[in-house]
Chains A and B, each alone.
Chain A
Amino acid sequence: MSLDSSSSALHLNLPPSSSSQSRPPTQITIHPSVVASILTHHTRRPDTDAPRVMGALMGQRSESGAEVDVRSCFAVPHSENAEQIALDMPFQQSMVELMNRNGVKEQVVGWYATSPELNAYSALIQNYFSNETAPFPAVHITVDTTLTASGEGLGVKGWVSTALGLSPKPENCAFLPVPVTIKYSDSERPALDLLVAPQPNPSPALPPLQSLSSSLAQLSALIDSAQTYVQAVNAGTTAPDVSVGRYLLEGVGRWSATGAEDEGGVREGVQDTLTVEYLANLVRSQVELSSRLALLQQGQ
């Protein structure tokens, strides 16, 4: 699912060939915490007139280099004005070294900036980061932080650069767009659900059955709407859609085939679960007793 408005570019995922050394990546996946971090850095910038802030991206690459997974990022102080641009290089290098020490296996894969424009300064920084990520090409992510009234904006775009011109000069390069998608794992899903829930945000420490009950409510609502649709089609009021009908048929068929003989399994499962529950309570009371006894012993 692309994070940006759809572009008219066509991205081809060519199969890896044996001669591909540093093929430019064709797909960038980004973790939502990275985007949140970039946006926070933008709001925290000390000089609110500066159009953009920059930082480095860390992540992992796939085997052939075709897919880049951006997992974390950090900000790098920089200053730019009409004549020159300066990026704090020792800062960036020491941050990379610190990040390497904290146990997560990530490497520098590129850099980000929070304005949608790409100019000559971007080319210079891209060149510097390409030296850092050699022999792989550096990836550049731009986040558009202007929120226009029409609801556009916050587009996250990815770029790679290719050299341009007859002689390779660092300020000459062309940025090619690369599609960017959000990637998150299953255990992060509940957190994302919590964050996008309507205000006020529910507390993140709800008892476990809450999600089960809300899921059941959602499911029953969906079944209701599907039912009204089917009834409407049968009564002839809605034009039938063949693909929807096939989808429903497939879904219902799959469910009815597996639901029949689960009775015995449920009964055995209940016995096991009850035993585990009893054991858990036993262990807990033992631990509590022993800790209080330890206190008592010394008091004598």
Chain B
Amino acid sequence: MTSMAAALAASLPAPTQQRVATPQPAAPTKVPQRMEGVVDVEAAREVETVQLNSLVLLKIMKHSTDQLPPPPAATYQQDRNAPPPTNLSSHPDAVGVLLGLDLDGVMEVEDSFALPSGETSLGANSYSSNLLSHLRDVSTPDSPIGIYLSTHNGGFITRAAVDLLVAIERAAGRGKAILVIHDASRASGGDLSVKAYRLSEGARASAKSKKWDTAALVENHITPATLLTSIPVTVSSPSLINAFLTSLTTSPSASEQPSLTSPSVPLPPSFSALSDPLGQSLPAYLSDTLDALTLQSHEANNIAFLSRQIAREKVRHEQSIRDRDEENLRRRKGGLPELPAIPAEMRNGTKDPSRLELLCLQGQVDGLAKGMGAEAGKGLVRCYL
């Protein structure tokens, strides 16, 4: 009896990772009986923490060190002229999709794959749907739950990222799309920086209505700081990979003696250098921030131009309405048939421009400046060591 109870207790909450593997063959909407209390079928619970698999972490790292081609020049809304080519915009970012499952408020990320730069949709014929059908054949979890982005120096909200997040939200349910950011330049300085975010309430409402113009922004109180909310991240590894990782750090039993020149294990302990790295890293931060400011001012000019155009259209339209009314008045006096009144609302070309790009660029400037401040702070500490 006790052994059976022990067996039951051992099998119950034990490896949630194992159970994640089981619903794979079934369609994502059908869920086996045992998981009813845990899997969030109606998308009622928000994601609270993100649990990254070590496989995903390693894959993100590897993608961030690949040599990628420069991103394609994407022209966003109605540019009069393309934005000036800056170092920032031609620097490739590693983007990919995260796959996993959301259990009990914890988003477990099980796998990931890389996306070609320039893909902003997860639709029917896209790269990701093709790849997902292949992955399904080899029993990989195939529900995209977010994207990862590997950037430099902290500016990461790009319009492509927001578009992808919105596409994933549409597929996965409200509040479920995760954005995992890995800061590659911080990592080469010795600090790992992996953070997770999701779209905030206001951003989600805007995305749902697909309107990012000023009225929608005011209604949802969106500023670059409130576009995303951050979520805590933890890392877990399944047991086989754990065994592999330990084998990297412990020396094999009957081995050669460790000599002073060659370490005996594949992964010797590492130290961060105590020298001051600011001479190299700060100029990069500064130039990135300035580039982002250039892009942002260019976009602001674009929007100003568009709003001026809209204002001009409005004035012209009102003028024509007034003229028509005067004409009608004269005709009434003269007894002639009246002309039809021009409808008060305008017909075309007067939508408020979408301010999403501007928001994203502002967020980038903010992020870069934050990164710059952090680097400077780190340098100050080292100076006083």
- A residues contacting B by CB (< 8 A) are 1-3, 5-6, 31-33, 35-37, 39-46, 55, 71-72, 74-77, 88, 91, 94-95, 98, 101-105, 145, 147, 151, 153-154, 181-182, 184-196, 201, 203-206, 208-212, 215-216, 218-219, 243-244, 247, 266, 269-270, 272-274, 276-277, 279-281, 283-284, 287-288, 290-292, 294-295, 297-299
Contacts and interface: CB of A to CB of B under 8 A. Distances in A.
B342 interface: no
Contacts of B52: 204
Given A36-B55, A276-B286, A284-B369, A291 B359 contact: yes
28 contacts: A36-B55, A39-B241, A40-B241, A44-B21, A45-B139, A74-B134, A102-B113, A102-B127, A103-B114, A103-B117, A147-B240, A184-B61, A187-B61, A187-B188, A188-B61, A190-B190, A195-B237, A208-B186, A211-B191, A218-B269, A273-B383, A277-B373, A279-B369, A281-B369, A283-B369, A287-B362, A287-B365, A298-B215
A5 B369 contact: no
Nearest to A5: B252
A287 to B, nearest CB: 5
B54 A247 contact: no
Contact of A103 (B68, B131, B192): B68
A39 B380 contact: no
Nearest to A276: B376
Given A193-B270, A203-B234, A36 B223 contact: no
B103 interface: no
A30 B189 CA distance: 23
A154 B247 CA distance: 8
Contacts of A74: 134, 138
B108 interface: no
B370 interface: yes
A35 B244 contact: yes
B372 A33 contact: no
Contacts of A189: 187, 190, 270
B244 A151 contact: no
DSSP majority for the A interface?
Answer: helix
A275 to B, nearest CB: 9
Contacts of B61: 33, 184, 187-188, 191
Interface string B225-238: 10000001111111
A43 B240 contact: yes
The interface centre, meaning the residue of B53, B279, B369 with most chain A CB atoms within 10 A of its CB, is B369
Contacts of A205: 192-195, 232-233
Given A75-B138, A182-B248, A208 B57 contact: no
A189 B249 CA distance: 13
Given A71-B62, A276-B282, A101 B116 contact: yes
Contact of B233 (A71, A193, A204): A204
B191 A206 contact: yes
A280 B114 CA distance: 33
B140 A1 contact: no
B255 interface: yes
Contacts of B378: 208-209, 212
Contact of A36 (B117, B190, B241, B374): B241
B366 A299 contact: no
Contacts of B36: none
A76 B265 CA distance: 32
B244 A102 contact: no
Given A1-B262, A244-B260, A294-B217, 17 more contacts: A1-B265, A6-B255, A72-B62, A102-B114, A147-B240, A151-B253, A190-B187, A191-B192, A195-B57, A195-B245, A196-B249, A204-B192, A208-B191, A216-B274, A273-B379, A277-B377, A295-B223
B266 A40 contact: no
B43 interface: no
B381 interface: yes
A273 B244 contact: no
B192 A194 contact: yes
A191 B215 contact: no
B62 to A, nearest CB: 5
A43 B193 CA distance: 29
A101 B134 CA distance: 15
Contact of A212 (B187, B272, B374, B376): B272
A70 B298 CA distance: 43
B383 A36 contact: no
Nearest to A212: B272
A161 to B, nearest CB: 25
B58 A191 contact: yes
The interface centre, meaning the residue of B62, B66, B139, B236 with most chain A CB atoms within 10 A of its CB, is B62
A196 B253 CA distance: 19
B75 interface: no
Nearest to A76: B138
A206 B233 CA distance: 10
A50 B279 CA distance: 56
Contacts of B365: 283, 287
A37 B59 contact: yes
Nearest to B254: A5
A154 B244 contact: yes
Nearest to B359: A291
